[in-house]
Amino acid sequence: MTEVLIVKSQEEAGNLYAEAACRLIKANPYATLGLATGSTPHTAYQALAQKVRENHLDVSHVCGFALDEYVMSDLSHPQSYHSVIDREVVVPVGLDPNNIHVPNGAADDVPRACSEYDKAIADAGGIDIQILGIGTDGHIGFNEPGSSLTSPTRMKTLTEQTRVDNARFFDGDLNQVPSHCITQGVGTIMKARHLVLLAFGKSKAAAIAASVEGAVTSMCPASALQLHPHATVIVDEDAASQLSQVEYYKWVAQNKPQWQVL
């Protein structure tokens, strides 16, 4: 089932994620986090870093798997997801870089790197909590519309829309945005035990409405969340603005039994 939480701010959304992640790490210091890039998870990582510090949480055994990576020869590029995950999550939260995995976008044998990535996730016992953003076309990770809903980690070709959306990270220059990526498949993502999808702003409203209330279809990869046993969609009012059941979602959130945490 998908739980929809409509929050007042990105900070509130970030706090909800961080509370769930900290609860998990307290219960299991060897927890495995699924990590996402993009601007959406910023507040979540900031809140997690703060809570880890305040609660003196030991995160030295926490493991992390990134969702995706560009296919690019220089993974030290500041916009490679290796660099982004390191800068925005590993360093501020204080994770051990040796426990953090990002698909090898510079691999000579890409199919092999993809199957080894899925195996590494399985060998780590699977992902406990996977944070997700969403593309304006409904993609999760880099699973563009048309991605099989049971897909494993594999190479994908980015759509023009995604490259245009991400050009802001490459000096606004579309030519610098890689055309291919390695991404956890929708099937890989669906194996995580808890999915937390965050979305903010009007530009995400159509994708959120299609994902939460539309048909389950490969043309909107995030709609697969409807089939997940524990998916939480946390949106601000703008991202919720095209949902038809807003009052109901708010009522459900306000009347949640105390034992039911995120």
Catalytic positions: 68, 137, 139, 144
Closer to ligand GLP by Cβ: residue 38 or 63:
38
Do 167 and 174 meet the contact criterion of CB atoms below 8 Å apart?
A: yes
Q: What is the DSSP letter of 164?
A: H
Give, for 6, the enclosing helix (H) or strand (E): strand 2-7
Examine residue 240 and tell whether it contacts ligand GLP (CB under 6 A): no
Residue 120 in tokens? 């590494």
Question: What is the nearest approach in angstroms of ligand GLP to the Cβ of residue 183?
Answer: 7
Question: What is the nearest approach in angstroms of ligand GLP to the Cβ of residue 65?
Answer: 13
Task: Map the footprint of ligand GLP across residues 178-237, applying CB under 6 A.
Answer: none
β-strand pairing of 68-70 with 180-183: antiparallel
Out of 44, 67, 182, 207, the only residue in the binding site for ligand GLP (CB under 6 A) is 67
Three-class SS state of 254: helix
Out of 9, 28, 39, 179, the only residue in the binding site for ligand GLP (CB under 6 A) is 39
Question: What is the nearest approach in angstroms of ligand GLP to the Cβ of residue 133?
Answer: 3
Examine residue 76 and tell whether it contacts ligand GLP (CB under 6 A): no
Binding window for ligand GLP (CB under 6 A); candidates: 17-25, 36-44, 117-125, 224-232: 36-44
Task: Map the footprint of ligand GLP across residues 122-181, applying CB under 6 A.
Answer: 133-135, 141-142, 162, 166
Question: What is the nearest approach in angstroms of ligand GLP to the Cβ of residue 53?
Answer: 24
Tell me the DSSP string of 35-81. E--SSTTHHHHHHHHHHHHHTT---TT-EEEESEEE--S-TTSTTSH
Matching residue, tokens 């980690």: 153
CA distances 88 to 2, 37, 97, 246, Å, are 27, 9, 12, 32
Which positions lie near ligand GLP, rule CB under 6 A?
36-40, 67-68, 133-135, 141-142, 162, 166
